[in-house]
Every structure is written in structure tokens, then in C-alpha cells.
């Protein structure tokens, strides 16, 4: 691909967990946009409502985010089934049943120039919910995206790193970025694939640094030790925001750089 030299940066934020995560996003996004010169923000919001699910009220608190993706907890909050129908900046996994409300991808304007297409997909390996093949679904969606939309970002919400990596290589050169979510732990494999697609197995989360995937440590340990049903309270303090900054050529859509970031949220007292 020939590079034009005109580049833009976008910010992709990992799974937002609970009220603490929402507060961190609202507070940190403006300064992160300025620091990394990002003109577009995407966040996975599927855990933002009390740690499981999402709803309109919680999403509106994070007003610095342009598009929200989701995953296997999309329907944990009953009210969201109706709310998603009227929300133009939210996508649920595209490879779930077509009978489900909402949409699996969207194309919207980047204020700095050009359009951004955002696709939400869910993996099949080790996931409790059934989903159609993410590979076939992605190919079908790519035929529907306007040719004028050069920047295409895929959120692959999946458990297996192999499935995420396979999807990234499968889409290499056809999308700007394939970014993994769901496991809440930022991985060390961020890179640009040969065809110009940015990839990382998991972006991480916006949740408590001293926690297990955003949940209280003693309760999670108790579950593993006993095997008995247990509630996992969300830890709402000591929040760390994990994200990735992707620099791309706005003419070709080719990714030029991916930079994982991790920032502690320190609320003013």
C-alpha cells in the first residue's frame, strides 16, 4: 500500500468494569486524547453496569467515547434490550443471532476526517454463549462497508488468544486493527502485521489494579478453592485504565503504529 503521509490516531479502551471504571474513563479520556493526539475513541462497555452488562445510563456517563462495543454480557441488564434500539453509537457482537436487537457494526464520521467503521465480534472457543463463525461474519460485513471508509476497527471479544490471532492474520491488510477484549489482562504482543493491520491479543481493562479481573480478590480465591457459588463484588477504587493507541494512514486505512498504554486513575480528593 502506498502511504499518503496524512495520519490520525484513535484510542481503543479495554473492558470498562463498574462505576470506578466509568469514572476513570470520563476523567482520563480528555487528557489521553490530548496527550496522544487521538481524534476518535472506542471502548468496550460490556462490564460497565455493576461489573456485568451495560445500559444507557452508564454509557452516557462516559461522554468522551465515540463508539461502544460489547460482548457476552451484552444482555445481562434487561433494560438494555430496548435501550440499544435507540442508541446509534453502540454495537453488539455481529455474529450473534440476527433476531437480537441492535447492530453488529457501524460506520461513523471521525471529526478529524474520514469515516471509521467499528465491528464487534465474539469468539467461539471456550465461550459460554453460542455465536456464528466470526471469520465468515467479518467477511460478510467487509462487503457492506462503503469503499470510502478506510479505517476499520474490529473488537474480537474472545477467550482464546489463538482464535484472536487467527482472526487478525485472516483480516490482515483488509482492516486497520483487530483488538482483543474479554480477558481483562493487557498482553505483550502488540504489533503491526505484514499487511498493515494492528493487533493485540487483549487490550486489558479499566478496573482495579489490586483485583482479579476487576473483582474482589478474597471472593474469587474462595470460588477457586471451594468450587461453591460465590458473589464477586466489583472493586471500585485504585482504578487502572488499559488502552491502545493506533496510528493509521487516513487515505489507505493501513495501521502504522500500535502503542499499548496503562494509566492509573487518581481522583481529586
Where does 2-134 show beta strands of DSSP type E?
7-13, 15-16, 38-44, 67-69, 105-109, 115-122
Q: How far apart are CA 27 and CA 23, in angstroms?
A: 6
Of the pLDDT bands very low, low, confident and very high (cuts 50, 70, 90), residue 246 is very high
Active site residues per annotation: 73
For Cα atoms 25, 30, 36, give the angle at the middle one, nearest 5 degrees: 105
pLDDT given for residue 29 in this prediction: 98
Residue of 48, 85, 50, 82 lying closest to 68 (CA atoms)? 48
Q: For the chain, what percent of residues have pLDDT higher than 70?
A: 98
Backbone angles phi, psi at 20, to 5 degrees: -60, -40
Q: For the chain, what percent of residues have pLDDT higher than 90?
A: 94
Q: Which residue has the cell 480478590?
A: 217
Q: How far apart are CA 251 and CA 107, in angstroms?
A: 16
pLDDT given for residue 268 in this prediction: 76
Q: How far apart are CA 69 and CA 72, in angstroms?
A: 11
Predicted TM-score (pTM) of this structure: 0.95
Of the pLDDT bands very low, low, confident and very high (cuts 50, 70, 90), residue 170 is very high
Residue-wise pLDDT for 191-226, tens only, equals 999 999 999 999 999 999 999 999 999 999 999 999
pLDDT given for residue 5 in this prediction: 61
Residue 3: pLDDT over 70: no
What is 8-264's CATH number? 3.60.21.10
Q: Which residue has the cell 504482543?
A: 189
Q: For the chain, where are the alpha helices, taking DSSP H only?
A: 18-36, 56-61, 80-83, 134-142, 161-171, 217-226
Residue-wise pLDDT for 70-110, tens only, equals 999 999 999 999 999 999 999 999 999 999 999 999 999 99
Of the pLDDT bands very low, low, confident and very high (cuts 50, 70, 90), residue 189 is very high
Residue-wise pLDDT for 102-148, tens only, equals 999 999 999 999 999 999 999 999 887 779 999 999 999 999 999 99
Domain boundaries, the chain: 8-264
Residue 68: pLDDT over 70: yes
Amino acid at each position: 500500500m502506498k502511504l499518503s503521509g496524512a495520519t490520525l490516531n484513535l484510542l481503543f479502551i479495554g473492558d470498562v468494569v463498574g462505576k470506578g471504571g466509568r469514572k476513570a474513563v470520563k476523567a482520563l479520556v480528555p487528557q489521553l486524547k490530548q496527550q496522544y493526539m487521538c481524534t476518535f475513541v472506542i471502548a468496550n462497555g460490556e462490564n460497565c453496569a455493576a461489573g456485568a452488562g451495560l445500559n444507557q445510563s452508564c454509557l452516557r456517563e462516559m461522554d468522551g467515547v465515540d463508539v461502544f462495543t460489547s460482548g457476552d454480557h451484552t444482555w445481562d441488564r434487561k433494560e438494555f434490550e430496548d435501550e440499544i434500539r435507540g442508541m446509534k453509537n453502540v454495537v453488539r457482537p455481529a455474529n450473534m443471532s440476527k433476531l437480537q436487537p441492535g447492530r453488529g457494526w457501524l460506520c461513523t464520521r471521525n471529526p478529524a476526517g474520514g469515516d471509521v467503521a467499528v465491528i464487534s465480534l465474539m469468539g467461539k472457543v471456550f465461550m459460554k454463549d453460542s455465536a456464528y463463525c466470526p471469520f465468515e461474519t467479518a467477511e460478510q460485513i467487509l462487503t457492506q462497508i462503503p469503499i470510502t471508509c478506510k479505517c476499520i476497527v474490529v473488537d474480537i471479544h474472545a477467550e482464546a488468544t489463538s482464535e484472536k490471532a487467527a482472526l487478525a492474520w485472516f483480516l490482515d491488510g483488509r482492516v486497520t486493527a483487530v483488538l482483543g477484549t474479554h480477558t481483562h489482562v493487557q498482553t505483550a504482543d502488540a504489533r503491526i502485521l505484514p499487511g498493515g493491520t494492528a493487533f493485540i491479543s487483549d487490550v486489558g481493562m479499566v478496573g482495579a489494579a489490586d483485583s482479579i479481573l476487576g473483582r474482589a480478590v478474597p471472593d474469587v480465591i474462595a470460588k477457586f478453592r471451594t468450587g461453591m457459588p460465590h458473589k464477586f463484588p466489583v472493586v471500585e477504587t485504585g482504578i487502572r485504565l488499559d488502552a491502545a493507541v493506533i496510528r493509521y494512514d487516513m487515505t489507505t486505512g493501513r495501521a502504522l503504529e500500535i502503542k499499548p498504554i496503562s494509566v492509573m486513575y487518581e481522583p481529586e480528593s
